[in-house]
Amino acid sequence: KPTVAIVGRPNVGKSTIFNRIVGERISIVEDVPGVTRDRIYSSGEWLNQYFNIIDTGGIEISDAPFMTQIREQAEIAIDEADVIIFMTNGREGLTSADEEVAKILYRSKKPVVVAVNKVDNPDMRDTLYDFYALGFGEPIPISGSHGLGLGDLLDFVIENFPKDEEEDYDEDIIKFSLIGRPNVGKSSLVNALLGEERVIVSDVAGTTRDAIDTPYSYDGKDYVIIDTAGMRKKGKVYETTEKYSVLRALRAIERSDVVLVVINGEEGIIEQDKKIAGYAHEAGRAIVIVVNKWDAVEKDEKTMKEFEQKIRDHFLFLDYAPIVFLSAKTKKRVHTLIPKIEIASENHSMRVITTVLNDVIMDAVAMNPTPTDKGQRLKIYYATQVAVKPPTFVIFVNDPELLHFSYKRFLENRIRDAFGFEGTPIKLIARPRK
Ligand code: GDP
């Protein structure tokens, strides 16, 4: 999917436009209590073209002076986006901060469209002319509060998406990424996997994200490692901000089949780990949990079991993810990782036989009767698998409202028990039978 970024100085209305473009999509969070996406990254659609969208204004670079903030945000847009929406404010007119942003955007080869916000009435159209001076062609008047002009803006955006799909890996090549807090050892683990083959990527501004896709072979099979750690640009202020790391992680997750959630075994689990893992789960990717730095942990025969239990307690929603303990440093057990990735990936695209699925559901219902609500009992007519990556099932029922969370969870678990979906989330959707 192509990516669109919104940049501009504060208070021009970036997040209003972001929310308008994203629409209701943002609140769609599959049954993961407490896990929501940051409101800086989401997806949108226009004329049947789907894209990711980033509100760079939401990436606060704490402590940095005002000008540095907007400059860094513009850099992020250049790094991440295929098309950039440069927002300005028609009421306030052109400001020096706008010109500052423009100067940075000139350096990118990316298509830029200037959106002049808060142009709510025709008299204000004259103010548009000033914005031609930014040098990005015809400015588009919009009104975030009234939702005017968005169509024109999005027309420009989708017309300027890269024409050829940049990704043409074979279907059977598994793409996996490593996510986790800084210093958990992602980079070291990539090194451990690659050994001597490690490709050093240059720090040139505008290095495309494809440059960090590293091909990798194991046991005669090809993989692609989506390596976020290798992309670090030394000296950029925004590299250290949490939201930017999250953004990076989300972009990598989006493009992966399997996500390795890397945890530092020496430090244990902290809240941020949970959040990062939540993104991968929510995105419906296959997941393997990696506990790194296991060499540095003082252990007895119980330590691993205890740590595993801790992970299970913290990541209740990841009960399906296998856990691998290893050391990137000593390379101990690094070889056990790829087989787990294989299993997770295989299950991620598993299709089950419909009759067997229906038998499983019927057995489940016989064992644990469906719930009733206001005198009505949930009736399940038929189940079928509608998608893979992740496996997604639709069950046709009399009334979807009657499928309460706990019963849904029960059915999901029965499906898991029957088919063994280790390493992958599954989705269950109830639909009314027509
Ligand atoms: P990243 O930010 O997640 O990519 O982490 P790095 O790969 O840069 O590693 C951060 C630090 O942890 C470095 O000093 C590594 O040498 C160290 N480290 C990485 N893996 C291991 C490991 O398995 N054991 C130990 N003891 N240290 C490790």
Q: Report ipTM (2 d.p.).
A: 0.94
Q: Which of 23-32, 85-94, 168-177, 271-280 has the lowest mean pLDDT?
A: 23-32
Mean pLDDT score, 121-147? 84
185 CB within 6 A, ligand 1: yes
Cα of 10 vs centre of ligand 1, distance in Å, is 37
181 CB within 6 A, ligand 1: no
292 CB within 6 A, ligand 1: yes
pLDDT of the residue at 42: 82
pLDDT of the residue at 411: 97
pLDDT of the residue at 154: 94
* HSE-CB of 28 using CA atoms within 13 angstroms: 9
Cα of 263 vs centre of ligand 1, distance in Å, is 11
Cα of 329 vs centre of ligand 1, distance in Å, is 7
Q: Is the pLDDT of residue 209 over 50?
A: no
Q: Binning pLDDT at 50, 70 and 90, where does residue 434 land?
A: low
184 CB within 6 A, ligand 1: yes
Averaged confidence pLDDT in the chain: 85
Mean pLDDT score, 29-50? 65
229 CB within 6 A, ligand 1: yes
Q: Is the pLDDT of residue 86 over 80?
A: yes
Q: Could you read off the pLDDT of 311-333 as tens digits, one per residue?
A: 999 988 899 999 999 999 999 99
Mean pLDDT score, 66-84? 86
Cα of 185 vs centre of ligand 1, distance in Å, is 4
188 CB within 6 A, ligand 1: yes
Pair of tokens at residue 160? 């300027």
Mean pLDDT score, 253-266? 93
Q: Which of 33-37, 140-144, 206-210 has the lowest mean pLDDT?
A: 206-210
Q: Binning pLDDT at 50, 70 and 90, where does residue 379 land?
A: very high
Q: Is the pLDDT of residue 235 over 80?
A: no
Q: Is the peptide bond before 390 cis (omega within 30 degrees of 0)?
A: yes
Looking at ligand 1, which residue's alpha carbon is closest to its atom 18? 185
* Partners of 411 in the β-ladder: none
Cα of 62 vs centre of ligand 1, distance in Å, is 26
Looking at ligand 1, which residue's alpha carbon is closest to its atom 11? 183
293 CB within 6 A, ligand 1: yes
How far is the first Cα of the chain from the last one, in angstroms, to the nearest whole number? 34
240 CB within 6 A, ligand 1: no
| Helix (H) / strand (E) containing 49 | strand 49-55
Cα of 136 vs centre of ligand 1, distance in Å, is 44
pLDDT of the residue at 257: 95
Counting ligand 1 atoms within 8 A of each CB, the residue from 178, 183, 188 with the most, and so the one to mutate, is 188
Instruction: Give the β-pairing of 174-179 and 258-264.
Output: parallel
Q: Is the pLDDT of residue 260 over 90?
A: yes
pLDDT of the residue at 208: 40
pLDDT of the residue at 63: 76
Cα of 297 vs centre of ligand 1, distance in Å, is 13
Question: Residue 271 has what DSSP assignment?
Answer: H
**Which of 424, 391, 394 lies closest to 408 in space, CA to CA?**
394
295 CB within 6 A, ligand 1: yes
Residue type, 213: D
pLDDT of the residue at 29: 37
| Exposure letters 264-281 (e unless 16+ CB within 10 A, then b) | bbeeebeeebbbbbbbbb
Q: Binning pLDDT at 50, 70 and 90, where does residue 244 land?
A: confident
pLDDT of the residue at 31: 38
Mean pLDDT score, 364-371? 94
Q: Is the pLDDT of residue 35 over 60?
A: no
Counting ligand 1 atoms within 8 A of each CB, the residue from 177, 181, 183 with the most, and so the one to mutate, is 183
Enumerate the H helices of 143-241 as residue ranges: 150-159, 186-194
**Which of 143, 164, 166 lies closest to 153 in space, CA to CA?**
143
Most confidently modeled range among 240-244, 246-250, 321-325, 403-407: 321-325
pLDDT of the residue at 370: 94
What length is written for the chain? 434
Q: Which of 41-50, 338-347, 373-382, 412-421 has the lowest mean pLDDT?
A: 41-50
115 CB within 6 A, ligand 1: no
**Which of 248, 258, 278, 281 lies closest to 41 in space, CA to CA?**
248
The pTM of this model reads 0.75
Task: Pick the atom of ligand 1 nearest to 188's CA.
Answer: 7
- What percentage of the chain reaches a pLDDT higher than 70? 88
pLDDT of the residue at 320: 96
Comparison of pLDDT for 306 and 214, the residue scoring more: 306
Q: Is the pLDDT of residue 362 over 50?
A: yes
Q: Is the pLDDT of residue 222 over 60?
A: yes
183 CB within 6 A, ligand 1: yes
Q: Binning pLDDT at 50, 70 and 90, where does residue 232 land?
A: low
Most confidently modeled range among 204-208, 265-269, 346-350: 346-350
